[in-house]
């Protein structure tokens, strides 16, 4: 990229030292004394000065794009709203970890214990994810391609991308689905399908966020991610409710299903509306708060409701059939635990 080339930057500074103030009076005197030689020269000088200005500007953005981790950290610190959207989640994840460990202290049934472990992983991944963001480790400034609402060639500015979010969702969301599948009494096939499609959704969502070569390809990745998401929604809305009904966990499952589907739909919507999508919401801090708000409900409130129910209904969980390729809802014989 032009702005990153050191020679160009050096020549930019060299032109800056001469300056318009010095060049103009000299040129006026010379125009009067040697008009035929000086007119073409003068126009060159003005052009060079304009180019020098451009190069200096590009050099400035070059520095911006080459921001080091401490510089990104400082940029996050300087944006109080963005910084708060991270710290609130670090605090809530920390409190959730302590609370969930306490709530699970007397749980003995292996399936109930597995639900606890899977759910506990959610705030554990979350605290790591937000620590990565707040430290500037998993944030980059990316030049959006031509056609994007905030294309670099139009705005001259790079867009702050919190790609660490998408990466860590690939760890936290499978844990949520594992807990939900165990609660419903899913068979192994549906559980595997939901989890693999979910990881596919997160990884292709990460690809959508990181692709800067083509605007069209960013949206193509987004489309692929949505297709994976549809598979997850199908298992959540069609397959698992039948299992939960057959296993007597339908009441809590239905509550958590609605909470999950409504909250999860918010993520692709905010991605599309935010700076990485069509940029109706241009502020990265507001987009970050949208994700952080969704996270609070989809993770901590979800986990509390689930674990609270499991801790007080351990016997129902203990009576459920073990994971097998046959579903309780389709009448296949359950295998022994």
Residues in contact with ligand RET by CB under 6 A are 166, 169, 172-173, 201, 205, 208, 222, 225-226, 229, 264, 267-268, 271, 295, 298-299
Q: Which is nearer to ligand RET, 55 or 182 (CB)?
A: 182
What's the min distance (Å) between Cβ of 264 and ligand RET? 4
Residues 126 and 89: beta-carbon distance below 8 Å: yes
Query: Which of 61, 271 has the CB closer to ligand RET?
Result: 271
Query: Nearest approach, Cβ of 47 to ligand RET (angstroms)?
Result: 45
Kindly write down the DSSP assignment for every residue of 169-233, as one continuous string. Answer: HHHHHHHHHHHHHHHHT--HHHHHHHHHHHHHHHHHHHHHHH--S-HHHHHHHHHHHHHHHHHHH
Which tokens go with 85?
Answer: 């959207």
The HSE-up count of residue 37 (CA atoms within 13 Å, CB side) is 6
Nearest-10 Cα torsion for 236, 237, 239, 241? 100
Measured at CB, which residue is nearest to ligand RET? 205
Nearer residue to ligand RET within complex by CB, 48 or 233: 233
Q: Shortest approach of ligand RET to residue 83 CB, angstroms?
A: 20
Nearer to ligand RET, 136 or 205 (CB): 205
Q: How far is the CB of 257 from ligand RET (least distance, A)?
A: 13
Residue 199: CB minimum distance to ligand RET, A? 11
Residue that is written with structure tokens 């509390």 in the block: 304
Residue 87 CA to residue 92 CA, distance in Å, equals 9
Question: Beta strands 159-161 and 140-142: pairing type?
Answer: antiparallel
Residue whose CB is less far from ligand RET, 80 or 261: 261
Could you tell me the smallest distance in angstroms from the CB atom of residue 260 to ligand RET?
A: 8
Nearest approach, Cβ of residue 195 and ligand RET (Å): 13
Distance CA 305, CA 255 (A): 9
Compare residues 45 and 226 and give the one whose CB is closer to ligand RET: 226
Minimum CB–partner distance for residue 169 and ligand RET (Å)? 5
Q: Which two tokens stand for residue 51?
A: 């180019």
Which of 86/267 has CB closer to ligand RET? 267
Euclidean distance between CA atoms 139 and 137, whole angstroms: 6
Please, what sign has the CA dihedral across residues 313, 316, 321, 327? negative
From residue 124, how far is each of 90, 119, 121 by CA, in Å? 10, 9, 5
Q: How far is the CB of 111 from ligand RET (least distance, A)?
A: 23
Cβ-based nearer residue to ligand RET, 67 or 92: 92
Q: Which is nearer to ligand RET, 96 or 173 (CB)?
A: 173
Among candidate residues 179, 148, 192, the one with its CA nearest the CA of residue 306 = 179
Q: Which two tokens stand for residue 54?
A: 């451009």
């Amino acid at each position: 990229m032009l702005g990153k080339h050191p020679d160009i930057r050096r020549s930019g500074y060299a032109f800056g030292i001469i300056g318009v103030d010095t060049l103009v009076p000299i040129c006026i005197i010379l125009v009067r004394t040697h008009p035929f030689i000086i007119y073409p020269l003068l126009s060159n000088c003005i052009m060079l000065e304009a180019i020098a200005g451009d190069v200096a500007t590009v050099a400035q953005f070059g520095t911006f794009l080459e921001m080091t981790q401490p510089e990104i950290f400082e940029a996050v610190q300087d944006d109080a709203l963005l910084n708060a959207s991270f710290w609130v989640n670090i605090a809530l994840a920390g409190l959730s970890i302590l609370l969930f460990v306490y709530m699970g202290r007397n749980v003995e049934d292996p399936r109930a214990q597995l639900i606890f472990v899977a759910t506990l992983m959610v705030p554990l991944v979350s605290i790591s994810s937000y620590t990565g963001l707040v430290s500037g480790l998993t944030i980059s400034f990316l030049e959006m391609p031509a056609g994007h609402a905030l294309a670099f060639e139009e705005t001259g500015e790079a867009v702050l991308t919190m790609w660490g979010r998408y990466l860590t969702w690939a760890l936290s969301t499978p844990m949520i689905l594992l807990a939900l599948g165990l609660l419903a009494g899913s068979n192994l096939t549906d559980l595997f399908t939901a989890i693999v499609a979910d990881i596919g959704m997160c990884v292709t969502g990460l690809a959508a966020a990181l692709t800067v070569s083509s605007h069209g390809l960013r949206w193509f990745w987004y489309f692929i991610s949505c297709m994976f998401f549809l598979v997850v929604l199908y298992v959540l809305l069609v397959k698992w409710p039948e299992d939960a009904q057959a296993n007597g966990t339908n009441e809590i499952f239905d509550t958590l299903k609605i909470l999950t589907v409504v909250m999860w739909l918010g993520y692709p919507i905010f991605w599309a509306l935010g700076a990485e999508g069509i940029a109706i919401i241009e502020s990265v801090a507001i987009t970050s708060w949208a994700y952080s708000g969704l996270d609070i409900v989809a993770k901590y409130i979800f986990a509390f409701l689930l674990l609270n129910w499991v801790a007080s209904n351990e016997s129902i969980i203990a009576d459920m059939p073990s994971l097998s390729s046959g579903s309780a809802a389709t009448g296949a014989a359950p295998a022994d635990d």
